[in-house]
Structure 1
Amino acid sequence: MLASLAQVSRRLLGSTAVLAVLAAASPALAEPSTNATVNLIQLLVKNKVITRMAGAELLAQAEAEAEQARAALAQKAPPTALAAGAGAGAGAGAGAATATAMAVAGGNLPAPAPGTIRVPYIPEAMRAKITDDIKKEVLAQAQAEGWAASNLVPDWVKGVTLYGDVRFRNESVFYSKNNTDELIDFAQFNEISPIDINANTNPTGFPLLNTRTDRQSRFRLRARLGLKAQLSDVAMIGFRLATGDDRSPISTNQLLGGGLSKKDIWLDQGYLRLTPESWISASFGRFANPFRTGSALFDTAELVFDNDLNFDGVAVKVDAKQWIDENMRLSVTAGAFPLGYASTTFPDNSTTKAGDSASKWLFSAELAGGYTFADAGISIDGSVGYHSFKGIQGRLSAPCALFNGNTQCSTDQYRPETLRKGNTLFFLRDIAADPANPNNFAQPQLLGLSFDYDLIDVKASFEMPIAKGIAAVVSGQYVNNLSAHRRDLCRYDPKGLPINNITIADPVAGAAAGTAAANFYTNPCTADANGRIAKYNGGNQGYLVRGVVGVPEPKKFGDWNVELSYRYMQSDAALDSFSDSDFHLGGTNAKGYTIGGSFGLSHNVFVTGRWLSANQISGPPLAIDVLQIDLVAAF
């Protein structure tokens, strides 16, 4: 590059000499000059591109070439000349150059006075042309040599944005010693395979949750890397990769350890977004929750959808910002999201295949609005959403003869894709008795949801500044499942009865052993001969109230926030498979509080601590406290 700059300087010198634009060499190389060549050489010396000695040599060369140009012009010029005088300035050796008009007539010119430079007159138009020619020549050489190319980066790269984050978590889980130790792990029940519920033919029993043994200081990692590419004014695409223990839709945490084995990476997002006009956009593929509100740390949608949940399908958003006051916000978002498709081969061993009725979908729409009082800095936001889940309610099968080697029943496809804990469930299969052993036969079962889920989801937040850079935010969420009807709970009575979220009736006092009255009664739909009836103790509502003070998302050292929240989430207020995975270790049918805070350590690096204390609302006791300490870095 130094060589290239020297060549550029030589070109400038040569061009100046041809035009007889002369410069006097200055021993100090620092005196200001109106000559472009002198200024350029002084700038190169000042920035240490060339040495002071090299600068002096260039100036000397410029003067020599200028002298040759003067001589050549003097031989051709008319005998008319203009002389320039020099005046002595104050200070030793401080001469001031005065421009002179050079002779344009032939003949020998008298020697100039010491410190005087003869400069020929060059018209302004010619000067501009010379400057333009030199610029083009220099840029051409720079691009050819690759040290100043303007198009080194392709246009498509300019629209690409990389982003990501890494979260290291130290998590401890504390269980009450008063918890029941006989809670079925419903998440594993359907995941493993159909499980035999006959204790005589399945002596190993059901998969059970850990409810009493603490788990302390478990290291977990979440790493995400994303890319967004703006292809045009209309189209953009996005991808994101993330860690995760399994294919669960609501967590990207990876438990460390495992013999130092490599960890799995999943496709977390992949979508195309079209924005034909500023007020409308449509997303296709797998993308972030389009109904989220609030910051990444304090989302007000987590009763229904976990913060890590992404959506598959299509979502359209219409924003009215261009038609309303700049302080107002008003938008409508709607979408269709497939949760699972009916198998194309079910039943596997039948020539008659099932239709599409077993496909599972979510259809959602949300109206959101807000207003900011600019003078006070106060913001109010709210939304009303409707989320309708289709095809997820379980159906009792036709009588299913598994004793003859069949492995599938007619409604197996209606089992949920994933389960956590909380939702009311029943056994899907109506298993026919084995004629060879009608009183003792295997009964491999699958679980299904007792209710449909059509949710009204209301969210609101209020934010106001309380100091410079510090805000107070109060937010809340209310959810109601409009389809949790008692008639659905009992629609297959006496079969297909709920197996959880009920309070069973005690045996009749004094009943003879071996009689039905001496046993617990589990039917919440029909009373027995003794008037006993079990009680459904689930519910269809939930709410969350949260207060945050500070900076919601710390970005620099010293940023901080503190949080306090309380929630109450009944068993069937929302799908347990999609709600927050941290509180009560996921699921519904829980109540309790969360306290926490964050502190910024440096640019985009912060630490967070949270204590989540939860108890089960109905059913056997299950109290779980969770301590999470996170170190987060993002870009």
Structure 2
Amino acid sequence: MKQTKLSVAIKATLLGASIVLAPASFAVDKELLDILKANGAITEDQYTELSMSNMMNKQNKPSDEMLKKMAWAGKIKVKGDLRLRNENRSTTNGVSDKGRQRYRARIGVYADITKNVKGGIRLATGDSEGPTSTNETINDRFDRDDVWVDLAYINWEALNGLELIGGKFKQPWEQVSGGMVWDSDLNPEGGALRYTTALGGVDIITTAGVLLMDDGGSSKDDDSTVNFGQIATKFKLAGAKTKLGVSVFDYSLSDELQYNLTNSVDTTDFLGKGNDSTEYQLTEVFGETNLDLGLPVKLYGHYVKNNDADGINSGEDTAWLLGVGTKMGKWKASYDYREVELNSVFAAFNDSDFADGYTDSEGSRWKLSYEINKNFSVGTTYLDTEMGKLTSKGEGDVDTWQIDLVAKF
């Protein structure tokens, strides 16, 4: 993959420091040059120049210690993205109308620490909207904006195909588009394992772990956690790439959090928008298939049931989504429709854009984007949603229109 100017500059600095410390006439090992070129640490011209120098100065090969220092530069990647957004929302109930400009900025450093150990740290913007948003709203009279730790993890491939992940990491499970259970901006914390193997042309991915939402202190009774397990498969059938999976997310909520949920006490980041259940064990089934119908077409679906829903609305415990997407040249388009009952998902963590994050909602999501070039695109999303009478806001329409300009580096 071609590296950005920022990434190359940082790697070149590390490489240059190693060269400065070496004898003036040293030769660079060809295998090392191939690694640095493949990782984008040096350009094609630099590769050619150093290769020629290598041929002329074989007798002055650098020490193993020097080679290790230089190779380290090729194992570091710097990646980031910036999104500018104009968002407008109109409603007919108590959800506030909004016309606002926002941005999201993220930058991370990722390293191959050893052959089987990787790590990463990423910083991101975000205001006080909880774990489901890294957007910064432009409304603070030019004040300096906050930056938060968005990722901080170690991934250790202890055995072939078996990954152990700890810290604050990207969602390790397989899923389909829509964010019906987990908003795409949310990065959980805790520990997970992921095992991938192949059996008869079918890739089997098993994921399990424990996520710590809130450490209540010395007593485990005060902790709020999510235990999860998933098995997913990827395979080709009649030329179509298909993914199927089933997951269980078992929430264990502290007494304090349960009280806040049932009494609408807004003293915790985990207060869901719409929920009134105190128990959540979500079982989900999802699938996706990619077809070639002259144009590539993706069909996907998602079904969720809260097996432990309690309270007066315990029957409001299911959610479903059906969607379709396609790509034509530099254009991408998708559409999905969903219905999310009041206690079907944990509303503090689901898609925060759909009906402003409230459950007891249904409606459509339309997306369209255009790739101006490889790392620069423009897109728009329209969410046409309806909220039911069971939420604190009552029945009403919530329509949201977003226009995004995205740059990756």
TM-score category by the smaller chain?
0.7 to 0.9
Equivalent AA in structure 2 for residue 221 of structure 1: Y
The structure 2 residue matched to 1:158, chosen from 74, 89, 110, is 74
Please tell me whether the aligned partners of residues 472 and 547 of structure 1 are also in contact (alpha carbons under 8 angstroms). Answer: yes
Which secondary structure state, in structure 1, belongs to the residue aligned with residue 221 of structure 2? helix
Q: Take 2:258 and 2:229, find their aligned partners in 1: how far apart are those partners?
A: 30
Aligned-residue offset at 1:630: 0.5
Residue in structure 2 matched with residue 379 of structure 1 by the alignment: 241
Residue in structure 2 matched with residue 580 of structure 1 by the alignment: 351
Q: Take 2:299 and 2:120, find their aligned partners in 1: how far apart are those partners?
A: 32
Please tell me whether the aligned partners of residues 170 and 629 of structure 1 are also in contact (alpha carbons under 8 angstroms). Answer: yes
Residue in structure 2 matched with residue 317 of structure 1 by the alignment: 194
Matches of residues 69-80 of structure 1 in structure 2 within 5 Å?
none
Please tell me whether the aligned partners of residues 388 and 455 of structure 1 are also in contact (alpha carbons under 8 angstroms). Answer: yes
Aligned-pair identity in percent equals 25
Matches of residues 585-624 of structure 1 in structure 2 within 5 Å?
585-619=356-390, 620-624=394-398
Query: In structure 2, do the counterparts of structure 1 residues 576 and 614 end up closer, same or farther at CA, with 3 Å as the change threshold?
Result: same
Q: Take 1:413 and 1:598, find their aligned partners in 2: how far apart are those partners?
A: 40
Please tell me whether the aligned partners of residues 314 and 343 of structure 2 are also in contact (alpha carbons under 8 angstroms). Answer: no
Larger CA Rg, structure 1 vs 2: 1
The structure 2 residue matched to 1:250, chosen from 120, 132, 152, is 132
Aligned-residue offset at 1:391: 2.4
Residue in structure 1 matched with residue 98 of structure 2 by the alignment: 215
Q: Take 1:255 and 1:412, find their aligned partners in 2: how far apart are those partners?
A: 26
Aligned-residue offset at 1:412: 13
The unaligned stretches of length 5 or more in structure 1 are 1-7, 9-133, 144-149, 182-208, 345-354, 398-410, 425-449, 490-523, 525-535, 552-557
Query: In structure 2, do the counterparts of structure 1 residues 415 and 332 end up closer, same or farther at CA, with 3 Å as the change threshold?
Result: farther
Please tell me whether the aligned partners of residues 594 and 613 of structure 1 are also in contact (alpha carbons under 8 angstroms). Answer: yes
Residue in structure 2 matched with residue 65 of structure 1 by the alignment: none
Q: Take 1:304 and 1:459, find their aligned partners in 2: how far apart are those partners?
A: 11
Matches of residues 269-308 of structure 1 in structure 2 within 5 Å?
269-294=151-176, 299-300=177-178, 302-308=179-185
The structure 2 residue matched to 1:330, chosen from 186, 196, 204, is 204
Query: In structure 2, do the counterparts of structure 1 residues 140 and 339 end up closer, same or farther at CA, with 3 Å as the change threshold?
Result: same
Aligned-residue offset at 1:416: 5.0
TM-score by length of 1: 0.52
Residue in structure 2 matched with residue 236 of structure 1 by the alignment: 118
Which secondary structure state, in structure 1, belongs to the residue aligned with residue 114 of structure 2? coil
Query: In structure 2, do the counterparts of structure 1 residues 154 and 415 end up closer, same or farther at CA, with 3 Å as the change threshold?
Result: same
Identify the structure with bigger relative contact order (alpha carbons < 8 Å, sequence gap 6+): 2
Aligned-residue offset at 1:175: 1.3
The unaligned stretches of length 5 or more in structure 2 are 1-24, 26-52
Which secondary structure state, in structure 2, belongs to the residue aligned with residue 383 of structure 1? strand
Please tell me whether the aligned partners of residues 391 and 414 of structure 1 are also in contact (alpha carbons under 8 angstroms). Answer: no
Residue in structure 2 matched with residue 518 of structure 1 by the alignment: none
Q: Take 2:220 and 2:57, find their aligned partners in 1: how far apart are those partners?
A: 69
Q: Take 2:88 and 2:77, find their aligned partners in 1: how far apart are those partners?
A: 36
Q: Take 2:364 and 2:401, find their aligned partners in 1: how far apart are those partners?
A: 12
The structure 2 residue matched to 1:169, chosen from 46, 62, 85, is 85
Matches of residues 317-466 of structure 1 in structure 2 within 5 Å?
317-321=194-198, 324-325=199-200, 327-343=201-217, 355-373=219-237, 377-392=239-254, 416-424=268-276, 450-466=277-293
Which secondary structure state, in structure 2, belongs to the residue aligned with residue 167 of structure 1? strand
Q: Take 1:261 and 1:290, find their aligned partners in 2: how far apart are those partners?
A: 35
Query: In structure 2, do the counterparts of structure 1 residues 474 and 154 end up closer, same or farther at CA, with 3 Å as the change threshold?
Result: same
Determine which structure has the larger strand proportion and give its number: 2
Q: Take 2:54 and 2:278, find their aligned partners in 1: how far apart are those partners?
A: 77
Please tell me whether the aligned partners of residues 423 and 576 of structure 1 are also in contact (alpha carbons under 8 angstroms). Answer: yes
Q: Take 2:364 and 2:217, find their aligned partners in 1: how far apart are those partners?
A: 42
Query: In structure 2, do the counterparts of structure 1 residues 550 and 343 end up closer, same or farther at CA, with 3 Å as the change threshold?
Result: same
Equivalent AA in structure 1 for residue 292 of structure 2: P
Please tell me whether the aligned partners of residues 85 and 403 of structure 2 are also in contact (alpha carbons under 8 angstroms). Answer: yes
Q: Take 2:174 and 2:134, find their aligned partners in 1: how far apart are those partners?
A: 18
Q: CA RMSD in A?
A: 3.0
Which secondary structure state, in structure 2, belongs to the residue aligned with residue 154 of structure 1? helix
Equivalent AA in structure 1 for residue 118 of structure 2: M
Aligned-residue offset at 1:139: 5.5
Aligned-residue offset at 1:634: 1.4
Aligned-residue offset at 1:268: 0.3
The structure 2 residue matched to 1:561, chosen from 332, 336, 354, is 332
Residue in structure 2 matched with residue 54 of structure 1 by the alignment: none
Aligned-residue offset at 1:569: 0.2
Matches of residues 22-37 of structure 1 in structure 2 within 5 Å?
none
Matched residue pairs, number?
A: 351
Q: Take 2:257 and 2:319, find their aligned partners in 1: how far apart are those partners?
A: 26
Query: In structure 2, do the counterparts of structure 1 residues 598 and 548 end up closer, same or farther at CA, with 3 Å as the change threshold?
Result: same
Which secondary structure state, in structure 2, belongs to the residue aligned with residue 261 of structure 1? coil
Which secondary structure state, in structure 1, belongs to the residue aligned with residue 300 of structure 2? strand
Query: In structure 2, do the counterparts of structure 1 residues 249 and 574 end up closer, same or farther at CA, with 3 Å as the change threshold?
Result: same
Aligned-residue offset at 1:235: 1.1
The yes-or-no answer on 1:545 pairing with 2:322 is yes
